[in-house]
Amino acid sequence: MRAGKLTGDARLPAFRNMAVCFHGTYDENEARRELQETLEGKCDYYGAFPEGEQDAVASLVMHHFTAEFEGQPVQAGGIGGVATLPAFRRQGAVRAMMRTSHEDLFRSGALFSLLYPFSLAYYKQYGFAPGPVSHLWTVPVEELQGIKDPGGRIRQIFPGEDDGVLLEVYRRVNRGVNLSIHRDVFSEEMRRESSINQKRYVFVYENGQGEPAGLMVGHLEDGVLHCETDFTHRGMLLCDSTGTLLALLRFVHRAYLTHYSAVSFTLDEGADLYSLLPGVTNSGKATCQAVYNGMVRAVCVQEALKRTRCLGRGKLCIGIRDPLIDENNGVFRLTYQEGEPNRVERTDDAPDLVMGPGSLAQLLTGCRSAEQLPWLSDVEIRTDADTAGVFRQKPCGFLNLF
């Protein structure tokens, strides 16, 4: 099956395909309006065509954005809208689109691509690996009593009001976080549609110094205030410190004790709610579930290695097996000395490690570390070379839904 970039009205079948596959609705005029409102260069549509078909029977949307990596802005792609009409499935459509779109992404200079999968195993075949681990907490509101007042104030943001404070919090919390996505506005969706009409409520916490330090976007469903970010709830809880988190949870108890049975929210893997609220977590009524924040893979291996901040000095030869981008296949010799630019070159040397572009992205962005190498299923450890100076845990996460 052949694949290629869609332009003009040839993009319209992509909306039809998504409506069929995701059980949505399709209106051609609405699809045209959405295409007209999409900023040039913000996303590309790809389609797959079997012999004899003029309309794309499968489609994929590649979103383009700037992300954080090692304190610098880099280009990345976010994959969404992957849809194949039922009669044309298992005929190589997605593989053809994945290869074509990633070859284009490589030529554009992007370092990483990201997605939110329906199946981890399915996208692993295209070189993706699980992203950062988060913890989804569900806590009964009544269990939040007794949190001391940390000072500051909670302010509700209504539709039509200046939402710049939300963007300020987003940037404050994500400063220095690898793969965090640079935003010009906090939420284009919230600017288009009334959050109140969607039963989503937006609050900002300002600390004792009057600084916006946290935010909460909550959606009511089945008696639970959902503040997690997923395709169903579109909520969020961001905090710059444990004090800010406690202030937000104290507010939930004070404002919603008689309205909601529980609150759910996501915290980074390193956030220890067990220590912060031992009474709540030891009661057995709060639940915690580990979830992956999407999947990630390297797009340009050589450039990603060059941009990585390494500790100490050393040399590491890394073999890459990439199912989509031929230019990434081979062995790359990384020579590094802390405080100086990395030197990366292709080599015929035997590799110390062999891995796919997903595992490499996990290790370079810091959502996995050298200590976890034996647990990464597609990594082959060939020598006992020191890897700790290159692969170490770092703040890592991305929140946009593609």
177-226, pLDDT tens digit by residue? Answer: 999 999 999 998 888 888 888 888 999 999 999 999 999 999 988 899 99
Q: What is the DSSP string of 328-391?
A: G-EEEEEEEETTS--EEEE--SPPSEEE-HHHHHHHHHTSS-GGGGGG-TT-EE-S----TTTS
My answer on whether 162 and 266 are in the same domain is: yes
Sheet architecture: strand order including 58-69: 2-6, 43-49, 58-69, 72-84, 112-115, 295-298, 129-130
Residues 218 and 301 in one domain: no
Asked if residues 240 and 271 have their Cβ atoms less than 8 Å apart, the reply is: no
341: its two tokens: 């630019």
- State residue 192's pLDDT score: 82
* Position 116 in a domain: no
Residue 52 lies in a domain: yes
Average pLDDT over residues 284-309: 94
Examine the domain organization and report whether 43 and 106 are in the same domain: yes
Give residue 282's pLDDT: 63
CATH of the domain at 365: 3.30.1050.10
Give residue 16's domain range. 2-110
Which pLDDT score, from 0 to 100, does residue 283 have? 67
Tell me which DSSP letter residue 165 carries. H
- Judged by DSSP in three states, 284 sits in coil
Give the C-alpha distances (Å, rounded to integers) separating 389 from 305, 338, 363, 374. 13, 9, 11, 17
Q: How far apart are CA 73 and CA 300, in angstroms?
A: 15
* Residue 142 within a domain: yes
Question: Rounded mean pLDDT of the chain?
Answer: 94
CA distance 363 to 109: 20
Q: Could you tell me the CATH number of the domain that includes residue 54?
A: 3.40.630.30
Answer yes or no: is 312 within a domain: yes
Q: Are residues 288 and 299 in the same domain?
A: no
Alpha carbon distance 104, 190 (integer Å): 31
Distance from chain centroid for Cα 26 = 27
- 248 domain-assigned: yes
Domain ends where: 292, 308, 327? 292
Residues 105 and 144 in one domain: no
Mean pLDDT over 310-339 rounds to 98
Angle at 135 between CA 289 and CA 62, to 5 degrees: 105
The answer, yes or no, to whether residue 52 has pLDDT greater than 90, is no
Indicate whether 90 belongs to any domain: yes
pLDDT digits (tens, 9 = 90+) for 9-42: 999 999 999 999 999 999 999 999 888 877 777 9
Residue 337 has pLDDT above 80, yes or no: yes
Structure tokens at 180: 């965090």
Please tell me whether residues 337 and 351 are part of one structural domain.
yes
Q: How far apart are CA 67 and CA 183, in angstroms?
A: 9
Q: Which of 243, 263, 292 is the last residue of a domain?
A: 292
Q: Which of 81-90, 143-152, 192-201 has the lowest mean pLDDT?
A: 192-201
Q: Are residues 154 and 222 in the same domain?
A: yes
C-alpha of 25 from chain center: 26
Of 110, 141, 168, the one marking the end of a domain is: 110
On whether both 185 and 253 belong to a single domain, the answer is yes
Please tell me the total count of domains within the chain. 3
Is residue 401 included in any domain, yes or no?
Answer: no
Same domain, 305 and 189: no
What's the pLDDT tens digit per position in 260-288? 999 999 999 888 888 888 777 666 788 89
Asked whether the beta carbons of 347 and 316 are under 8 A apart, the reply is no
106/137 same-domain check: no
Residue 120 lies in a domain: no
Q: Which of 37-41, 156-160, 301-305, 392-396 has the lowest mean pLDDT?
A: 37-41
Q: State whether 55 and 22 are in the same domain.
A: yes
Q: Between residues 241 and 275, which one has the greater pLDDT?
A: 241
Domain identity same for 300 and 151: no
φ, ψ (nearest 5 deg) of residue 199? 60, 35
CA contacts within 13 A on the Cβ side of 309: 12
SS3 state of residue 5: strand
